[in-house]
A and B are shown apart, each in its own frame.
Chain A
Amino acid sequence: MHDSHDAPHGFWTRYVFSQDHKVIAIQYTVTALAVGLVGLVLSNLMRLQLGFPGHFDFIDANRYYQSLTQHGMIMVVYLLTAILLGGFGNYLIPLMIGARDMVFPFLNMLSYWVYLVAVLVLLASFVVPGGPTGAGWTLYPPQSILPGTPGADWGIILMLVSLLIFIVAATMGGLNYVTTVLQARAEGMTLFRLPLTVWGIFMATILALFAFPALFVSGVMLLFDKVLGTSFFMPAIVSMGQPLAYEGGSPLLFQHLFWFFGHPEVYIVALPAFGIVSDLISTHARKNIFGYRMMVWAIVAIGVLSVVVWAHHMFVSGMNPAFGFFFAVTTLIIAVPTAIKVYNWLLTLWRGDIHLTVPMLFALGFISMFAIGGLTGLFLGNVSVDIPLSDTYFVVAHFHMVMGVAPILVIFGGIYHWFPKVSGRMMNDTLGRWHFWLTFVGAYAIFFPMHYLGFLGMPRRYYAYENYAFIPESAHTLNAFITVAALVVAAAQLLFLFNLAWSARRGRLASANPWGATTLEWQTPDTPPGHGNWGAQVPVVHRWAYEFSPPGQARDFVPQNAPPDAPVE
């Protein structure tokens, strides 16, 4: 909205209130990782209680449920959504499509600061009387706004307000990303030459724009119910022996609205990861991505279908039972485009020239994690199999494999991959490998056994499992094992943090294109790219993003902007 947008000079305009998409991306990433760290600590608090019940008396039932809720919400919304769209999206979209910046830089900056406010409001809920809400990240009413749930007064209000603010931020960012992709592509950059990273983020952003309003509506209505005493979601209730003044509302309405947002949300975090991992695999296997068009259509199909599967989270919610058929069918249909993506990643590896760099390790780890997590999704999508498994640790295992770990691995892989471009330095390889192995193997150790606790019937969201006859002693031992693994994995993240901090100052200097990648962001005149990204001339694109190892070329890659008549020597 500003008229002039010259290269800024002062410290404040350059590093704090910057309108440069690269700076904003870093701000988003750092903030998201910082709250992510809070989420990680909370998960370990939960694990301590679950693995060694009663040994840590500062984790009482209240704190447990508060940790659970904040852990889930932070990870899904404030970490993953923010880092993938606000961080990776912001950094990569303009660079990858050959633009000088987002089309609305000021809006972009605003988006970050509003996001920061959302984070601060969220964190503020930790210090208000009663603490943060402990209603579970799904915030189901009536429970979320009634006594008997921790944080039912201040906590829930701040939670909802923070979400509403977050949605405003996400919408500002989203409008920007979509418009930028549509309007600011460099000459020759057709939609079907976009790198899959951009496709993934683009589709995820469209989904976000149309799914977040559902959360907004349910959030505002829930606030009304809490603060003004309306009965949108609240039927007549006797709470703790007290009859309340509510009447006639339907808790199921909230669940429908929530999941109408919630399911697309899980793909909002999955699609960018799909895109990024495609680029990592192709680049580090030195081979073009297999079936590019199929990959694009799969992204579009997943995006579209993901809006009509939401009630698979509600198979045992008491909704109209006839819906089960519809949603089971649509849910399993989604597996087909997803499967196509997995096949194409695998086939990209085949007959490749696989460099087992750190980003590639994370990408391979992602495929393995995502496959198992997606496959367990098929149990849950198949109505009748979901019924015994719903709300057990099987579900917890499913979504951690597919969402908790898989996209996180991609984020790590992406950071190792793009760090040289962002900072001009390489990250330390040895530390990176240790980080990968501990995280990957550790995550298997944490979440694979959880499936079996789920088969056994152990319900999720339980503070303690004492004196249940059907739970054998061995299950408690297993829980202790899982806790130890979780602590180790959490500690391993310190390697990553150290590596980040150390490499940013001391890392080996990177060349402009250390991985030999084809996409535009590696072809900038400066590393890190300067203000305006491209120096005097924006690039002109001549080919798709995956021209690796073409026959008859000396080098094993051709950048997208290399002129066709002058092959790179």
Chain B
Amino acid sequence: MAIAIVLIVIVIAALAFHALSPWWLTPLASNWGLIDDTLTVTLLITGAVFVAVNLFIAVAVIRYRHRHGRRAAYEPENRKLEHGLTWLTAVGIVAMLAPGLVVYAELISPPKDALVVEVVGQQWQWAYRFPGEDGRLGTSAMRFVGADNPLGLNPADPAGRDDALAVGPELHLPLGRPVRVLLRSKDVLHNFFVPPIRTRMDMVPGMVTEFWFTPTRAGRFDILCAELCGVGHYNMRGVMVVEPQADFERWLAGLPRFAAARQVAATPPGGDLAARGRGIAQARGCFGCHSVDGAASVGPGWRGLFGHEVELADGSRLKADAAYIAESIRAPAAKLVKGYPPIMPPYALDDGEVAAIAAYIASLDGAADGTR
């Protein structure tokens, strides 16, 4: 008996929860209202079945619970009933599936005139690339990745020379124009997920995946990584800024082009040491775990590190000098910083590179340079 009441209460509570809950789909910001509609159709059908099933149990328990002298009916099967229910279910399924497939067909056929943007993932940061004037993205390969070429573009491909690079969390897109997003990863699986645009796709190393949408609402949207990619997964943040075409073009124009960026980054050692250090840290993926604004993320932040006291896991303290930094890079497990897990992989960098990184970390002090 109690079970009948509880089931009825559960149904009522579920409906009330649905009606009153403040948690629901984020407001739509793309053309994919169709997905929301399909979801609503599915919700209505399944919701009705949910209510029906629970109420049926409740009624059955109330009517047919054991009482003295009651005896169950003997009824091995009832073909007409089973027949009918099977058809009913089939109809329900078709009602959900048909619209779903229609929408899917559209989801996988991007319009021809879409703006192409490439998103490149790496543990735990984002980078973006737009085609230059020729409207084409250059080819790439992992073997080209280096300090001066973080996205691994093919230097010999003329189509890639004018590609605009945005290395960092921020992606700008023009309002109202279809965007075809090509996705690529340098290391592991990631997933480009912006809840308000609904559609998304995994980023798979070794291949290029894609999806498309049209932004319909201006604003700043969180970009999340929605495929487990290691300890920093939950912290792989990006921002998608949707803005009018003119603003977007201004932003795009300000981006470095591949060929030019390479020249700058290739400053020979002995030039600005700290800048070289920054390049190395960028290429080696240090920023996946270390921020430079002093905030702690997966690893300790670098601002205010050099020359200051560090508390180690064993309680001892020491001053962070160049030797300590070198050791931290080459044998991170030797001296663990308090409050952090021993997850940093050892890096076999040569003395020059280590010195450059140390110089860069030192340069972060006192907000002298305003990096980021």
Contact = CB atoms under 8 A, between A and B. Distances in A.
Q: Do chains A and B touch in the complex (CB under 8 A)?
A: yes
Interface of A: 57, 60-63, 65, 134-136, 140, 142-143, 146-150, 235-243, 248-252, 285-288, 290-294, 316-318, 321-322, 324-325, 328-329, 332-333, 335-336, 339-340, 342-344, 346-347, 349-356, 361, 364-365, 367-368, 371-372, 375-376, 378-379, 382-385, 387-388, 390-392, 437, 440-441, 444, 448-449, 452-453, 455-457, 459, 461-465, 468-470, 472, 474-475, 478, 546, 548-551, 556
Contacts of B251: none
Contacts of A376: 46
Contacts, number: 354
Interface string B33-71: 011001100110010011001101100110011100011
A146 to B, nearest CB: 6
B139 to A, nearest CB: 14
Contact of B141 (A236, A352, A384, A456): A236
Given A150-B341, A287-B73, A453-B23, 11 more contacts: A146-B230, A149-B231, A241-B286, A243-B145, A252-B207, A291-B76, A325-B104, A332-B96, A336-B89, A391-B226, A461-B234
Contact of A379 (B25, B42, B85, B202): B42
B252 interface: no
B199 to A, nearest CB: 5
19 contacts: A60-B340, A61-B341, A136-B228, A142-B188, A147-B345, A148-B232, A237-B205, A239-B285, A252-B204, A287-B74, A290-B78, A328-B104, A336-B86, A448-B17, A452-B21, A463-B231, A464-B235, A470-B26, A474-B22
Nearest to B96: A382
Contact of B60 (A62, A354, A444, A478): A354
Interface residues on B, range: 35 or more
A271 to B, nearest CB: 19
A474 B23 contact: yes
Given A335-B89, A354-B61, A355-B66, A384 B35 contact: yes
B167 to A, nearest CB: 14
Interface string B236-255: 01000000000000000000
A316 B23 contact: no
A388 B35 contact: yes
B222 A391 contact: no
B53 A385 contact: no
Given A147-B345, A364-B61, A461 B233 contact: yes
B122 interface: yes
A60 to B, nearest CB: 5
Given A384-B103, A461-B233, A556 B189 contact: no
Given A142-B187, A382-B97, A455-B23, A353 B343 contact: no
A448 B198 CA distance: 22
Contact of A325 (B101, B204, B237): B101
B90 interface: yes
The 8 A-B residue pairs whose C-beta atoms are closest, nearest first, are A235-B206, A241-B284, A457-B195, A318-B209, A148-B230, A143-B188, A287-B72, A236-B142
Contacts of B141: 236
Contact of B23 (A237, A456, A548): A456
Nearest to A471: B222
A279 to B, nearest CB: 15
B322 interface: no
B23 A134 contact: no
Contacts of A343: 82, 85
Contacts of A135: 228
Contacts of B75: 287-288, 290, 351
B85 A449 contact: no
Contacts of A379: 39, 42-43, 46
B189 A142 contact: yes
Given A134-B231, A351-B64, A468-B222, A240 B123 contact: yes
B268 to A, nearest CB: 20
Interface stretch (B3-11, B257-265, B306-314): B3-11
B285 A332 contact: no
B226 A356 contact: no
Contact of A462 (B74, B200, B233): B233
Interface of B: 1-3, 6-7, 10, 14, 17, 21-26, 34-35, 38-39, 42-43, 46, 49-50, 53-54, 56-57, 60-61, 64-66, 70-78, 81-82, 85-86, 89-90, 93, 96-97, 100-101, 103-105, 107-108, 122-123, 141-143, 145, 152, 183, 186-189, 191, 193, 195-196, 198-207, 209, 220-222, 224-235, 237, 283-286, 288, 298, 339-341, 343, 345, 347
Contact of B183 (A241, A318, A457): A318
Nearest to A315: B104
Contacts of B101: 325, 328-329, 383-384
A143 to B, nearest CB: 4
Given A250-B207, A457-B195, A372 B142 contact: no
B123 A148 contact: yes
A465 B235 CA distance: 9
A402 B206 CA distance: 35
A382 B220 CA distance: 30
B155 to A, nearest CB: 16
A384 B36 CA distance: 9
B200 A371 contact: no
A457 B26 contact: yes
Contacts of A441: 6
B93 A336 contact: yes
A316 B181 CA distance: 14
Contact of B54 (A63, A318, A368, A382): A368
A335 to B, nearest CB: 6
B204 A342 contact: no
A349 B100 contact: no
A203 B282 CA distance: 54
B46 A240 contact: no
A333 B93 CA distance: 8
Contacts of B183: 318
A142 B205 contact: yes
A291 to B, nearest CB: 5
A273 to B, nearest CB: 17
A353 B50 contact: no
A392 B195 CA distance: 10
A350 B85 CA distance: 15
A291 B96 CA distance: 27
A450 to B, nearest CB: 10
Nearest to A144: B188
Given A239-B187, A371-B50, A456-B25, A62 B345 contact: no
B218 to A, nearest CB: 15
Contacts of A550: 74
Contacts of B34: 384
A146 B122 contact: no
A478 B231 contact: no
Contacts of A440: 6
Given A150-B343, A243-B143, A455 B35 contact: no
B331 to A, nearest CB: 14
Contact of B46 (A375, A452, A463): A375
Contacts of B60: 346, 349-350, 352, 354
Contacts of B97: 328-329, 332, 382
Given A236-B143, A238-B152, A354-B64, A332 B93 contact: yes
Contact of B231 (A62, A453, A457): A62
A344 B75 CA distance: 11
Given A236-B141, A243-B143, A441-B6, A387 B198 contact: yes
A452 B228 CA distance: 21
A292 B42 CA distance: 30
A367 B57 contact: yes
